[in-house]
Chain A
């Protein structure tokens, strides 16, 4: 144990001595959080929605036909009660709900005016805005159609409600994204580099010849980066609360626990890369190209995954950052508890265990 502590102390010394890297480590998340603007908006196809049809009349049926015909939306279920809708949103599968009030057609015909409610999951504000715009235009299209045959202009008023993020702040979207990105960068790249550095400098051999167990070499490398990453998670959360006015709606403890899980996933990837490579440059390239790029592309924080072709959507499932992004969004913005994210957590946990096992396996064979 004393040897282990000696080793960890040495790792901290490495980190502290390297002032430039240290500055980048702590500066990067702050800069990213502060300058990240609003993510790109894209056309979104086949978003799953639910329809609550309390009217069940001609007008509602016609609008539903139009919605189902549209390539933007895919109706996942028809509900009969308003209260079931919230549950559907919590499952995270649907992006939007359309609510027809009772006597929709009656109101429209007799009072010339009827309301329709559109509710969107605004934790991803870009998607939410785009989807409500699509929905509104479908409704307006229908309105124009019926008015064509009607001397008295009828009016359907869409009432839009943004769920979870009423002000449509861009921040909710990118804070979890930046978190995933920063953790990925620090844990994967820094761990990989610091282990490969020992190989390059020939100090790894010395360590392997020493009575210090090789497996501890790897573990004690990971400890400082675990702690650094936790500091970064705290910085990002503090910034988002106090600078971006974005409160954490869910449990902070849960958020930190999930972050630790993701950090361990990243450390395992970093260790794996370091075992497979022998130079710092290659380790860095693989970390950047192999990890950062997929994180940016597939985690869903820049580009909506829903919009990608099926094969890419499938690929996105093996990117750990995607699951972490969903988890952080659920806790931070939607304020959901563990029961809502156990599946994502389990996936992330499985990935971590898998990565750790293959890293340790290849580390052992490498020694032979």
Chain B
């Protein structure tokens, strides 16, 4: 159990009569890339918010990086990174200022900040853009930068909420290279996506329908199980059973 960084047991969230997330249980191991799929309104975001400590579950238990989501939200926050579907850097700050700010609020020392930001800028080949405003960068670069900033404090887990929305396939590919690199260095990646080709990149995926996890396995096994050629088919077979609308 040592390398299980996310352990989730019957996690449930209700808003009044509405059960947004219904008793989901799963585990994710260290360094795994875990795809979290589901149609709009299936409850992905709510589930993710609970795992990040942003919202308290109604029922169930979860351990994130070994910390209880009821009692240790502060500890959890120190050990996770987060990047959302909506773009999450400050456009009116320069590349260097953004790195400095996000590193700073995670409590990195000035020395660490200096080393980290230099390394990061070199890695992303942004040397000549370090002092330009983020607003002037192409979207693909911004997203790569946002991802790198999200893991600047070397978290145990990084949560990515539809990180590649609106990006061209080539940039998406490059983005996934960064994700692999992070996973290889031991960071667990928890990612939600709408792109089925991205689902193929994940080690395992889960598919949520109406607040419950209906399938959880490697993509190869899922395709076998549902007798489908592509992940699209698997997703469609499951998602059309949904009763909840948009």
**CB within 8 Å of B: which residues of A?**
2-3, 6-7, 9-10, 13-14, 17-18, 201-203, 205-212, 367-368
Chain B stretch 11-54: residues in CB contact (< 8 A) with chain A? 52-54
A6 adjacent to B105 (CB under 8 Å):
yes
**Who on chain A is nearest to B110 by CB?**
A2
**Who on chain B is nearest to A213 by CB?**
B74
Q: Kindly list chain B residues whose C-beta atoms are within 8 Å of the C-beta of A202.
A: 84-88
Taken together as a complex, chains A and B put the C-alpha atoms of A317 and B58 apart, in Å, by 44
Taken together as a complex, chains A and B put the C-alpha atoms of A203 and B150 apart, in Å, by 12
Taken together as a complex, chains A and B put the C-alpha atoms of A260 and B150 apart, in Å, by 37
B187 on the interface (CB 8 Å rule)?
no
| Complex A-B, nearest 6 residue pairs according to Cβ-Cβ distance, in ascending order | A202-B86, A6-B104, A209-B82, A17-B92, A212-B105, A211-B77
**Contact of A201 (CB < 8 Å), options: B74, B77, B83, B91:** B91
B88 adjacent to A210 (CB under 8 Å):
no
Chain B stretch 71-110: residues in CB contact (< 8 A) with chain A? 74, 77-78, 80, 82-93, 97, 100-102, 104-107
A13 to chain B, nearest CB (A): 6
B88 adjacent to A13 (CB under 8 Å):
no
Chain B stretch 45-71: residues in CB contact (< 8 A) with chain A? 52-56
B82 adjacent to A368 (CB under 8 Å):
no
Taken together as a complex, chains A and B put the C-alpha atoms of A203 and B88 apart, in Å, by 5
What are 25 residue pairs bridging A and B, where the CB atoms are less than 8 Å apart in the complex? Answer: A2-B104, A3-B104, A3-B107, A6-B100, A6-B101, A7-B101, A7-B104, A10-B90, A13-B92, A17-B93, A18-B92, A201-B87, A202-B84, A205-B82, A206-B82, A206-B83, A206-B150, A209-B52, A209-B53, A209-B77, A210-B82, A210-B105, A211-B78, A367-B55, A368-B56
Taken together as a complex, chains A and B put the C-alpha atoms of A282 and B80 apart, in Å, by 33
A203 adjacent to B90 (CB under 8 Å):
yes
Question: Known contacts A3-B105, A206-B82; is A211 also within 8 Å of B74 by CB?
Answer: yes
B88 adjacent to A206 (CB under 8 Å):
yes
Q: Kindly list chain A residues whose C-beta atoms are within 8 Å of the C-beta of B74.
A: 211
A14 to chain B, nearest CB (A): 6
Q: Kindly list chain A residues whose C-beta atoms are within 8 Å of the C-beta of B52.
A: 209
Q: Kindly list chain A residues whose C-beta atoms are within 8 Å of the C-beta of B102.
A: 206, 210
**Interface of chain A, main secondary structure:** helix
Q: Kindly list chain A residues whose C-beta atoms are within 8 Å of the C-beta of B54.
A: 205, 208-209, 367
Q: Kindly list chain A residues whose C-beta atoms are within 8 Å of the C-beta of B86.
A: 201-202, 205
**Who on chain A is nearest to B80 by CB?**
A209
Taken together as a complex, chains A and B put the C-alpha atoms of A37 and B129 apart, in Å, by 50
Taken together as a complex, chains A and B put the C-alpha atoms of A205 and B55 apart, in Å, by 12
Residue from A14, A201, A203, A209 having most chain B Cβ neighbours under 10 A: A209
Given contacts A9-B101, A14-B93, 7 further A-B pairs with CB under 8 A are: A6-B105, A202-B85, A203-B89, A205-B86, A206-B88, A206-B150, A209-B159
B194 to chain A, nearest CB (A): 17
Q: Kindly list chain B residues whose C-beta atoms are within 8 Å of the C-beta of A3.
A: 104-105, 107
**Contact of A207 (CB < 8 Å), options: B80, B91, B93, B105:** B105
Q: Kindly list chain A residues whose C-beta atoms are within 8 Å of the C-beta of B92.
A: 13-14, 17-18
Taken together as a complex, chains A and B put the C-alpha atoms of A211 and B74 apart, in Å, by 6
A201 adjacent to B107 (CB under 8 Å):
no
A2 adjacent to B88 (CB under 8 Å):
no
A13 adjacent to B93 (CB under 8 Å):
yes
Taken together as a complex, chains A and B put the C-alpha atoms of A33 and B101 apart, in Å, by 38
**Who on chain A is nearest to B133 by CB?**
A17
Taken together as a complex, chains A and B put the C-alpha atoms of A102 and B69 apart, in Å, by 85
Question: Known contacts A7-B105, A368-B56; is A14 also within 8 Å of B90 by CB?
Answer: yes
B110 to chain A, nearest CB (A): 9
Q: Kindly list chain B residues whose C-beta atoms are within 8 Å of the C-beta of A18.
A: 92
**Who on chain A is nearest to B105 by CB?**
A212
Taken together as a complex, chains A and B put the C-alpha atoms of A4 and B82 apart, in Å, by 20
A10 adjacent to B87 (CB under 8 Å):
no
Q: Kindly list chain B residues whose C-beta atoms are within 8 Å of the C-beta of A201.
A: 86-88, 90-91
Taken together as a complex, chains A and B put the C-alpha atoms of A353 and B55 apart, in Å, by 28
Q: Kindly list chain A residues whose C-beta atoms are within 8 Å of the C-beta of B104.
A: 2-3, 6-7
Taken together as a complex, chains A and B put the C-alpha atoms of A207 and B56 apart, in Å, by 17
Taken together as a complex, chains A and B put the C-alpha atoms of A201 and B90 apart, in Å, by 8
B97 adjacent to A10 (CB under 8 Å):
yes
**Who on chain B is nearest to A18 by CB?**
B92
A277 to chain B, nearest CB (A): 17
A205 adjacent to B107 (CB under 8 Å):
no
A10 adjacent to B101 (CB under 8 Å):
yes
A138 to chain B, nearest CB (A): 63
B82 adjacent to A2 (CB under 8 Å):
no
**Who on chain B is nearest to A216 by CB?**
B105
B93 adjacent to A205 (CB under 8 Å):
no
**Who on chain A is nearest to B97 by CB?**
A13
Taken together as a complex, chains A and B put the C-alpha atoms of A209 and B87 apart, in Å, by 15
Q: Kindly list chain B residues whose C-beta atoms are within 8 Å of the C-beta of A206.
A: 82-84, 88, 102, 150
**Who on chain B is nearest to A10 by CB?**
B101
Q: Kindly list chain A residues whose C-beta atoms are within 8 Å of the C-beta of B107.
A: 2-3, 211
A49 to chain B, nearest CB (A): 57
Taken together as a complex, chains A and B put the C-alpha atoms of A10 and B74 apart, in Å, by 23
B41 to chain A, nearest CB (A): 19
Taken together as a complex, chains A and B put the C-alpha atoms of A267 and B133 apart, in Å, by 29
